[in-house]
Amino acid sequence: MDLLRSLPLGLYLEQPQTWLHKIDPRVKFAWLMSFLTSYVLANNNWRVLLVVILIVATLIARIPRRVWQQQMGWLLMLSFFVLAIAAISPDGLGVDYQSRLPANEQILTQPAFSNNIKEPPTEKKAYSYVLFHKGPVKVTRYSLSLAVRLSTLIFTVIYSTNLYLLTTAPEEITSGIESLMQPLRRFKLPVTEIALTLTLSLRFIPLVLEEVQNLFRSVMTRAINWKKLGLKGAFKVWMTVAERLLENLLLRADQMANAMMVRGFTSPNEHRVQWHDLRLKGRDWLAIATLILFWGIRLAIGTQA
């Protein structure tokens, strides 16, 4: 079990370098926020379109199949199960559903005043709130709409964030966020300190995975008979493992702090390292123009009625 390679989410793809890797992190962050915010007050057609855009962008970027198949596959499966379960679940509306057409069809054809003028027959449009009902399975318009909203929300929020982390190095993320937060310096907010904390947090994630992997392997190599231990014994073992994990993580954090102190680190303003030179290039301006078009389409056809 190699968590550093098998974990499907939150890992940075160093090779190969796709065109998504080369876009400015600030532009990619704006795209990420657009995916997360354009979902609000949007109709179901737009929500499905967001899923399609993410899938097409992954394929066009030529991300290796072994990467997106592992990351996208289980997420699509989860979204499908949410769609199926929510569609057949009760919609929560405790009302009796009645037909929009009256029971007596002659009322539709009977004139309001007694005269000899005959109105042309109008075409009847069938309407049914219940889309499918067979045995205990019942799908209504509201439950199907809710199922689409839930399933697309899960996929959009998780996969858009994962695609951003997949194609953006941790140093690029922090540099981009620090650049976008520069106006907050006027309010005396510690922008550089916040960026440093975010950098250390992102760099600490692989250490956490490594410790979890080592402890899991240590438990597996001891060939513990879980049936003999019972529920209480197994709980004690895993509590011991969790305690050991916490101790190891605190030790790693203390080692990182000592390494920074030995190098004379006093404040981020005095010991700044420029990881990336953030300059907008031609591809970045094209991405910004596409983002403007994205929001134009969202406001034109994606608003919920």
Instruction: Assess whether pLDDT exceeds 80 at residue 153.
Output: yes
Instruction: Assess whether pLDDT exceeds 50 at residue 3.
Output: no
Kindly report, residue by residue over 219-261, the tens digit of the pLDDT.
888 777 777 778 888 888 888 888 888 888 888 888 888 877 7
Alpha-helical segments (H) within 23-140:
25-37, 44-60, 65-88, 106-109
* pLDDT value for 33: 93
Instruction: Assess whether pLDDT exceeds 60 at residue 14.
Output: yes
β-sheet bridge partners, residue 73: none
The continuous run of DSSP H or E covering 294 comes out as helix 282-301
Minimum mean pLDDT range among 67-81, 82-96, 111-125: 111-125
The continuous run of DSSP H or E covering 145 comes out as helix 141-167
Q: Which residues contact 184 (CB under 8 A, 6 or more apart)?
A: 191
* pLDDT value for 1: 46
Kindly report, residue by residue over 52-82, the tens digit of the pLDDT.
999 999 889 888 888 787 778 888 899 999 9
Phi then psi dihedrals of residue 16, to 5 deg: -80, 160
Instruction: Work out the mean pLDDT of the chain and round it to a whole number.
Output: 80
Q: What is the pTM of this model?
A: 0.72
Q: Which residues contact 58 (CB under 8 A, 6 or more apart)?
A: 68, 72, 163
* pLDDT value for 31: 93
